[in-house]
């Protein structure tokens, strides 16, 4: 299995999702109904797919 580098867009989206999850966890963004755990999980899965799928 070969890993590839994720594109810059995938990386930026994953980082923004991780920051949003942290802000939700700290109650800085209390109006978001999705738990921060699922947002952070989505960010990590996106990074995982960006490493596993070439060109993503």
- The answer to the question of residue 3 being in a domain is no
Instruction: Quote the pTM value.
Output: 0.86
What total number of domains does the chain contain? 1
What pLDDT score does 45 carry? 96
pLDDT given for residue 56 in this prediction: 65
> Is 16 within the bounds of a domain?
yes
Angle between helices 36-52 and 8-25 (to 10 degrees): 160
Round to whole Å and give the CA distance between 23 and 40: 11
Residue with tokens 């070969």: 2
Q: Would 1 be classed as within a structural domain?
A: no
Separation CA 24–CA 55 (nearest Å): 31
In a domain, residue 45? The reply is: yes
pLDDT in tens, 36-53: 999 999 999 999 999 998
Give the residue-averaged pLDDT of 19-42.
Answer: 93
The whole-angstrom separation of Cα 18 and Cα 24 is 10
Q: Which is nearest to 35 in space by CA: 23, 19, 24, 46?
A: 24
Domain assignment of residue 28, given as a range: 8-52
The pLDDT of 13-33, averaged and rounded, is 93
Q: Is the pLDDT of residue 7 over 70?
A: yes
């Amino acid at each position: 299995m070969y890993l590839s580098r994720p594109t810059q867009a995938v990386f930026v989206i994953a980082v923004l999702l991780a920051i949003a999850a942290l802000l939700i966890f700290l109650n800085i963004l209390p109006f978001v109904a999705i738990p921060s755990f699922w947002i952070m999980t989505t960010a990590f899965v996106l990074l995982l797919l960006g490493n596993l799928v070439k060109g993503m």
